[in-house]
Amino acid sequence: MSADNSCPDVSVPLRNLLNFVQCIRDRVKDGESNESSGGFNLQNFWETLNQAVKATSQEATKLSLAFSKPPLPSPQDGERFAESIQKSVLALSTVYYWLPKSQGITMRRMVREATVEVLEGIVQLIDIILSTPLQSLSQEQLTSTGGVWSACDQFVHLPKDNQAAVLEVLASYSGVVKDAISEMEQAQAESHDPFSDVLEEEDLDSRGNQDTYWSEADRQLMAPCQGLMKASAACLKKLSAAIKANGKVDSPENIAQLDDLADITKEISPSVDDLALSLYPPMDYSGVELNACKLASILKKILDITRASHVCLEGDLNWVQFLDGAVDHNLQKVKALVQGSS
């Protein structure tokens, strides 16, 4: 850091403030909530949290404006600015700690990440104020101040209970899976043997599996693998609909079941990606089978957990059983084609 923006009298409270906010940020990253035996009011939590976020945004703006042009704040004013931000940051972190895990780990994780982002933004703002010349409002300081505003603004859009939080993460997983399916379909549509128009048919047959295109045997194996990928997308879609229609946050048990569904479904998208990557030429059949087995195992586990949860009503058993059968069918087809090729 340069000393351009900091005569010793003003820089000391700012440096102390920087250390304080960094400490609070690190504690929020790793800290646990204060589980209390008393009643917890979720609506009151959100109202208080939004007030704390608004106050933090306002204090950060005041600090930025105070150091946006000469003359420097007096040492006494510098102390006051630092104390005001300390209070707002402490209030924000304290309200975050009110939120117990029993309200939902998925929602709590989102609130924690949003809180940390605000604190990161304030750390960056103070750091820039300390390190840039005090001539006019620098672009870095302007950008950093906007970053704090943006981090604070996102609280309005956070899911307000664990049902909404789980639906949000499932939607993100679903988007990744759909992208993987689309990319694989596009690759298939564009792929062809670059030598197919210059070689005789019998020569093509003897070329086997080349590094740049799929053989006919490869394409046959891809079909059930894509079936597993589509079953993954269908599972996320159907489960999301069931959670939206039947999900409850009226008891710790039901909230925990929603968290379990969020935790297990996060394994879908990386497993779909692994399977998709193993399908590109040159195709290693044993690797394809291994990834297909892994994805099928995850889907079967999700369907079992869904079946046993409160979101699965009698009418939902049909799609659960259908997808369970589809997973088995496609996996058996993969195994048969791999064994037949060896």
Q: Are residues 205 and 257 in the same domain?
A: yes
Q: Any idea which of 65-79, 160-174, 238-252, 306-320 has the lowest mean pLDDT?
A: 65-79
Give the pLDDT score at 133: 64
**Residue 166: how many CB atoms within 10 A of its CB?**
31
Q: Over range 60-82, report the average pLDDT.
A: 88
What range defines the domain where residue 100 resides?
8-157
For residues 232 and 295, is the Cβ–Cβ distance under 8 A? yes
Q: Are residues 282 and 314 in the same domain?
A: yes
pLDDT band at 34 (very low <50, low <70, confident <90, very high): low
Residue 125, H or E segment: helix 105-131
pTM: 0.86
Vertex 309: Cα angle to 44 and 297 (nearest 5)? 120
pLDDT band at 111 (very low <50, low <70, confident <90, very high): very high
* Token representation of residue 269: 């998208």
Query: What does the mean pLDDT of the chain come to?
Result: 89
Q: Are residues 144 and 173 in the same domain?
A: no
Q: Are residues 170 and 78 in the same domain?
A: no
Instruction: With respect to residue 328, please indicate whether it lies within any of the assigned structural domains.
Output: yes
DSSP 31: P
Q: Is the pLDDT of residue 194 over 80?
A: no
For residues 163 and 247, is the Cβ–Cβ distance under 8 A? yes
Q: Is the pLDDT of residue 59 over 80?
A: yes
Residues in CB range of 72: below 8 A, 6 or more apart = 7, 10, 78, 134
Q: Are residues 140 and 241 in the same domain?
A: no
